[in-house]
Structure 1
Amino acid sequence: MDNTSDDKLVIAISSRALFNLDDSHEVYEREGLEAYSAYQVAREEEPLEPGEAFPLVQKMLRLNAMLGDEARVEVVLLSRNSADTGLRVFNSIQHYELPISRAAFCGGESPWRYIRAFGCQLFLSNEAEDVRYALDCGVAAATLVSSRGGLSDSGQLRFAFDGDAVLFSDEAERVFKTEGLEAFTASEQAAARTPLSGGPFKPFLAALHRLQQSFPASEAPIRTALVTARSAPAHERVIRTLRAWNIRIDESIFLGGLNKTEFLRAYQADVFFDDQQTHCASAGPHVATGHVPHGVANTPASVDPAAT
């Protein structure tokens, strides 16, 4: 039965993102698949410790209680485990009473090919290769790179997004990379009334916006923020782009090259998505962080720009 709809938010997550599988992964790396399988089967009644994305998933699934009878947030497990070795993962899901019922156990193969079949708008994983495949399929995806994750003090679920190459295309960032900051600023001023093309996270932001509209603006349990290194006068094109998309974003922070970490902490972000490795490395120890390996900053010859 197909229960997906435009009003439903479906998130795919890998087993290593949901639970801490470091010990068993080390067994696999050191001793091979057979030893790994034996290790997991022998411990299948021992619940796994929560992983980097566990607090975020827990908070997202709680939204259904606020939405009444209609469950509009779903989490799907996508795993490279076989069903046999994955039994420990499902037992752990039951232990923590997470309402996750759909899964694909791919027996060593990459699970990215099932993302669209499940109707997912977001994929979170520790496997960078799987994330890149998901992005190539047009699904928002990020590699979890944080060393810490936890519920913010806020009762809301708070998402923070970089702009260029995440919410927006990397067209402006390419100008910066090839021609420098002055040309970037002039180009953005000239194109201020021309909306930017959508980036890989535009559909996910739109899905969050639809959920937000189920609540009065002052009571929405989801809050979104744009945290960008852009500054005035490059701000106008961003504002007009979101207006053209008819998507609300609750906070827009234009940093002009300042470090993003303290602002993310002040915002109390539950998760932050950025295409720049340096920004992710800085934020990761403080906020659950997903690297989006998309755009010019992630091509082999690129260096990390500070302006976008």
Structure 2
Amino acid sequence: MEIAVRREDTVAIKKKKLITQDKVVNVIFHMIAVLMIIAVIYPLWFVIIASFSNPADVANGKVWIWPNVIDARGYQKLFEQSQIWKSYLNTILYTVTGTLVALFVNITAGYAMSRKDLPFRKWINLFYLIPMFVSGGLIPTYLVVKQFGLLDSFLVMVLPFSVSTYNIIVARTFFQNSLPDSLWEAAQIDGCSTLRYFVQFAVPLSKAVIAVVGLWTAVGLWNQWFNALIYLQNENLIPLQLLLRRILISNESLLGAATGTMAQELRQLSDMMKYASIVVSTLPIMALYPFLQKYFNQGVMIGAVKG
């Protein structure tokens, strides 16, 4: 009896130690997680409060959590630009249209390449992989775009660069690992065609990869300015990012020509407009991400674990 009691006491002590150790480990992990969240969120918050602060306070390290004096001159000067709302609308249209086109192209291509009965499947995979490592370069691409008559048009920001080999591979991997062959066999027994199976079964079961590819594409299109610089001449078609770049370069030019008190004022105004430009250009994408986070994490993990 005494030996049994001692064993029970020993087991109880070990359980208490394990519970205590688990609590300590959980506390440490939670502290690390909180520090990582602060490290990610604080720079974003600092940019926001800096855009409403006096640049001198920011430069002197007086702004940490909240602006000492709220100053919205950066936003005021930025929105005084007559073309900014037109450029904002252009960016929204490019992002929405380009994302839809890219999803249609990349998801359908990924599904086709995931099918084992696709003729010449290995050669098609190779055909998509080669441009991923070897690019034609800017001049040949420009000539191709010009020959297709897409220069200085809305479609030049949407069509020529909609195909992404990486996104196709992600979609292909998702379809291969997530859609069982038995589902396709059952659909065939019921007389389902390939197109109908893709529309009614594959797409509804692929919300995760659609969200991932859509978010990646939308972020890339929203931040796109180089293609607009090369292929657009019409001022009514330029996107927001290119306009903001022009404004900042113009401010730097004016700053280089100014002296004395005027130079100091222009420097402060230029700094405020820089912070305001960052907020204006990133806020819509930051607001979109929380709605897609669940699917985004799921899609990334599926590709990482099973790919």
Tell which structure's C-alpha radius of gyration is larger: 2
Fold-level similarity (TM above 0.5): no
Q: TM-score, with normalisation over the residues of structure 1?
A: 0.23
Is the helix fraction higher in 1 or 2?
A: 2
Is the strand fraction higher in 1 or 2?
A: 1
Q: TM-score, with normalisation over the residues of structure 2?
A: 0.23
Kindly indicate whether structure 1 or structure 2 has the higher relative contact order, using CA contacts under 8 Å at least 6 residues apart. Answer: 2
